[in-house]
């Protein structure tokens, strides 16, 4: 039984790590967010504690031959042995008091964070449940490791009858590892992925309440469309059914407006991304998209979701003289697609841009629409991947609006790292601001974070929107070992100043924030709504009464 008990030094290290894990991050935590952050941090602390004990044991083993019986070191060792019980009681009391204090402080911080991002704060019960679940998970993991070691020992003892002595220590561990890997990879992992994919496929085929087949020929899914309504996917149905019509736009401006074009192609198992891009261009051509003055390529998130605020803002600002085109490239939600399939959004961004560009090349230069690209989250990553660098993007597009771009996008990294001295990492100033501008919220596009006004816009305009509290933007694997630049400067308006960086721990805290980042209200975390009105107004060079347009768009936006 003693072989199954946890290591005392590891318990101390894990408990200290859990105090740190209860510290603040971007968003208020659900019970499972607390459990994930605390559990993974406790494992880290436990490993450090076990490592420290191993170093201590190694040092004692080295010094033992040099200790004279009855000498000073021997007497000191006996004294420490007598104190061991007292020290354990003291440490246990300290851990209980430390955990209680960390929980109380954490609850206060969670209320502060909830106020900053305008959501309901979690209750004390939520934090306690998360702490208990995380600790229970760690105990189960430690028990599993101990059982693995016992299994490895048993295998070695069995192999002693058949193998040379020198091969036994390695063979037992190797066989146990191989069996464990096979079980997890071939049974647990494969079945888990299959269940995730099956559930995502079922969700993609579910009817979307309140959506009906569009009647306008300018929209995919209409009776005139090459793409039947039942093939465009769950979110595709919202794209082609929702949004302003010509009558809505005309009523806002008090003058006639065109019917906006929305071309969308859903996911089909037998159609490649390149083939889907060709279908999207064919649909765009059929709907008259290449006859409009403005054409925007939208790259969606994993499930084909597009931001309604972005599309509606462009359609109102151009008085309907615009077209959009997009396609669905997977049924997986963005969180899973980001981990399991980063290639598809990149492939989609490249294929769709090139298919559209080839069609534009066939047109007389004076008749070509102005070309834009837009994407949010994984869609921004996919759209940006077509361009070698920022200069290449500026040469091939008339403008773009990107929102919540993950920082592993090379163009984002280039612009952020090349920011002007004095500007912040969270809202960098790029050059004089005549081509590229970053925004943390409404009202951020007139001047930089250093307080200086931007130069007037040039002919090509690019806006990057990123909230200071958006974990999708600020999460990075380097959080494991390096303090990020955004933590070394004054934090954004919706981030608590009490946030701190800790190796390993902060990485999991921000990772746990990501699934909840789409549950906040607009203007915080990974929710970009009204900001699109100002962003597209700047990119299109179309001044507008933004509050009035926001009021006009809001009734037309329906969750999906």
For the cut 60, the answer to whether the pLDDT of residue 2 exceeds it is: no
The Cα 128–Cα 100 span in angstroms is 10
What's the confidence (pLDDT) of residue 81? 47
- Stretch among 121-135, 164-178, 247-261, 332-346 having the lowest mean pLDDT: 164-178
For 221, which DSSP code?
B
**SS3 breakdown of the chain: % helix, strand, coil, rounded to 5?**
55, 10, 35
Contact (Cβ atoms closer than 8 angstroms) between residue 348 and residue 273:
yes
User: Considering Cα of 236, then 240, then 243, then 249, what sign does the dihedral take?
Assistant: positive
What is the band of 29 on the pLDDT scale with cuts at 50, 70, 90?
very high
User: 59: burial class by Cβ within 10 Å (0-12, 13-18, 19+)?
Assistant: exposed
Contact (Cβ atoms closer than 8 angstroms) between residue 428 and residue 449:
yes
Cα separation values, 316 from 308, 313, 324, Å: 12, 5, 13
Please state whether 285 falls in left (phi above 0), alpha (psi between -120 and 50) or beta. alpha
- Stretch among 113-117, 268-272, 529-533 having the lowest mean pLDDT: 268-272
Q: Which of the residue ranges 8-22, 115-129, 147-161, 277-291 has the most confident prediction, judged by mean pLDDT?
A: 277-291
Residue with tokens 């295998």: 155
For the cut 60, the answer to whether the pLDDT of residue 84 exceeds it is: no
The average pLDDT across 326-355 equals 81
Q: Can you name the residues that pair with 375 across neighbouring β-strands?
A: 299, 402
Report the percentage of the chain scoring pLDDT > 70.
80
User: 286: burial class by Cβ within 10 Å (0-12, 13-18, 19+)?
Assistant: middle
The average pLDDT across 162-188 equals 55
What's the confidence (pLDDT) of residue 156? 59
User: 506: burial class by Cβ within 10 Å (0-12, 13-18, 19+)?
Assistant: buried
Would you state the structure tokens that stand for residue 21, as one six-digit string? 């894990």
Angle, CA 499 vertex, CA 25 and CA 451 arms, to 5°: 110
- Give alpha helix (H) positions in 64-123: 72-117
Instruction: Give Rg (Cα) of the chain.
Output: 29
Q: What is the pLDDT of residues 431-445, one digit of tens each?
A: 999 999 999 988 889
Q: What is the pLDDT of residues 196-219, one digit of tens each?
A: 666 656 666 677 788 899 999 999
Q: What is the pLDDT of residues 349-398, one digit of tens each?
A: 999 999 999 999 999 999 999 999 999 999 999 999 999 999 999 999 99
For the cut 70, the answer to whether the pLDDT of residue 176 exceeds it is: no
For the cut 70, the answer to whether the pLDDT of residue 56 exceeds it is: no
The average pLDDT across 88-110 equals 82
The Cα 511–Cα 36 span in angstroms is 9
User: Considering Cα of 65, then 66, then 70, then 76, what sign does the dihedral take?
Assistant: negative
- Stretch among 89-98, 234-243, 306-315 having the lowest mean pLDDT: 89-98
What's the confidence (pLDDT) of residue 224? 96
Please give the residue that has the higher pLDDT: either 67 or 22. 22
The average pLDDT across 163-186 equals 55
For the cut 70, the answer to whether the pLDDT of residue 346 exceeds it is: yes
Average pLDDT, the chain: 85
The Cα 8–Cα 496 span in angstroms is 35
The Cα 242–Cα 559 span in angstroms is 10
Residue with tokens 């179309």: 542
What's the confidence (pLDDT) of residue 168? 47
For residue 225, give every residue at least 6 positions away whose Cβ sits within 8 Å of its Cβ, in sequence order, or none.
217, 219, 283, 286, 287
The Cα 194–Cα 175 span in angstroms is 27
What's the confidence (pLDDT) of residue 76? 44
SS3 503: coil
For the cut 70, the answer to whether the pLDDT of residue 408 exceeds it is: yes
For residue 540, give every residue at least 6 positions away whose Cβ sits within 8 Å of its Cβ, in sequence order, or none.
294, 314, 317, 318, 399
For the cut 70, the answer to whether the pLDDT of residue 289 exceeds it is: yes
Report helix angle 308-317 to 531-540, nearest 10: 40
Helix (H) or strand (E) holding 413: helix 410-417
Q: Can you name the residues that pair with 327 across neighbouring β-strands?
A: 265
Please give the residue that has the higher pLDDT: either 140 or 456. 456
SS3 214: coil
What's the confidence (pLDDT) of residue 124? 86
The average pLDDT across 89-106 equals 80
For 428, which DSSP code?
-
3-state SS of 473-496?
A: HHCCHHHHCCCCHHHCCCCCCCCC
Residue with tokens 């080839």: 358
The Cα 149–Cα 145 span in angstroms is 6
The average pLDDT across 500-517 equals 91
For the cut 50, the answer to whether the pLDDT of residue 462 exceeds it is: yes
Would you state the structure tokens that stand for residue 337, as one six-digit string? 């697609």
The Cα 431–Cα 420 span in angstroms is 6
What's the confidence (pLDDT) of residue 15? 84
Please give the residue that has the higher pLDDT: either 148 or 222. 222
What's the confidence (pLDDT) of residue 209? 82
For the cut 60, the answer to whether the pLDDT of residue 120 exceeds it is: yes
What's the confidence (pLDDT) of residue 471? 94
What is the band of 329 on the pLDDT scale with cuts at 50, 70, 90?
confident
Please give the residue that has the higher pLDDT: either 161 or 72. 161
């Amino acid at each position: 039984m003693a072989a199954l008990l946890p290591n005392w030094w590891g318990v101390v290290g894990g408990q200290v790590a859990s105090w740190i894990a209860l510290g603040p991050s971007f968003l208020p935590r659900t019970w499972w967010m607390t459990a994930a952050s605390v559990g993974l941090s406790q494992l880290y602390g436990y490993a450090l504690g076990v490592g420290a004990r191993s170093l201590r044991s190694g040092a004692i083993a080295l010094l033992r031959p040099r200790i004279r019986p009855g000498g000073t070191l021997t007497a000191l060792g006996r004294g420490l042995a007598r104190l061991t019980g007292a020290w354990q009681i003291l440490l246990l009391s300290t851990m209980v008091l430390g955990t209680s204090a960390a929980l109380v402080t954490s609850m206060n911080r969670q209320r502060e964070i909830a106020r900053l991002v305008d959501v309901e704060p979690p209750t004390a019960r939520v934090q306690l449940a998360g702490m208990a679940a995380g600790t229970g998970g760690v105990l189960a993991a430690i028990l599993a490791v101990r059982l693995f070691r016992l299994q490895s020992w048993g295998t070695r003892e069995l192999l002693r009858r058949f193998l040379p002595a020198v091969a036994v220590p390695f063979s037992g561990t190797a066989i146990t590892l191989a069996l464990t890997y096979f079980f997890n990879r071939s049974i647990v992992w494969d079945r888990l992925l299959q269940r995730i994919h099956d559930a995502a496929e079922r969700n993609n085929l579910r009817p979307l309440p309140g959506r009906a087949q569009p009647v306008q020929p300018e929209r995919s899914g209409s009776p005139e469309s090459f793409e039947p309504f039942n093939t465009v996917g769950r979110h595709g149905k919202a794209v082609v059914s929702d949004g302003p019509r010509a009558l809505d736009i005309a009523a806002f401006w008090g003058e006639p407006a065109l019917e906006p074009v929305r071309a969308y192609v859903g996911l089909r198992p037998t159609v490649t991304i390149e083939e889907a891009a060709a279908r999207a261009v064919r649909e765009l051509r059929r709907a008259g998209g290449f006859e409009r003055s403005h054409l925007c390529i939208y790259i969606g998130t994993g499930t084909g979701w597009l931001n309604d605020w972005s599309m509606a803002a462009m359609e109102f600002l151009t008085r309907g003289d615009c077209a959009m085109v997009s396609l669905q490239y997977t049924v997986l939600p963005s969180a899973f697609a980001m981990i399991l399939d980063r290639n598809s959004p990149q492939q989609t961004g490249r294929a769709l841009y090139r298919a559209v560009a080839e069609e534009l090349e066939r047109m007389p230069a004076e008749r070509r629409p102005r070309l834009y690209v837009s994407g949010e989250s994984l869609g921004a990553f996919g759209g940006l991947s077509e361009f070698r660098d920022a200069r290449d993007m500026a040469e091939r597009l008339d403008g773009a609006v990107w929102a919540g771009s993950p920082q592993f996008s090379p163009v984002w990294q280039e612009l952020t790292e090349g920011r002007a001295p004095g500007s912040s990492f969270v809202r960098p100033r790029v050059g004089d601001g005549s081509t590229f501008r970053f925004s943390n919220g409404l009202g951020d596009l007139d001047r930089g974070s250093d307080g200086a006004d931007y130069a007037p816009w040039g002919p090509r305009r690019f806006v990057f929107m990123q909230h200071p509290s958006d974990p999708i933007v600020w999460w990075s694997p380097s959080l494991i070992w390096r303090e990020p630049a955004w933590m070394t400067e004054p934090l954004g308006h919706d981030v608590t100043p009490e946030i701190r960086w800790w190796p390993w721990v902060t990485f999991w805290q921000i990772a746990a924030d990501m699934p909840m980042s789409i549950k906040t209200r607009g203007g915080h975390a990974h929710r970009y709504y009204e900001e699109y009105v100002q962003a597209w107004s700047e990119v299109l060079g179309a001044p507008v009464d933004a509050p009035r347009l926001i009021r006009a768009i809001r009734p037309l936006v329906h969750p999906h």
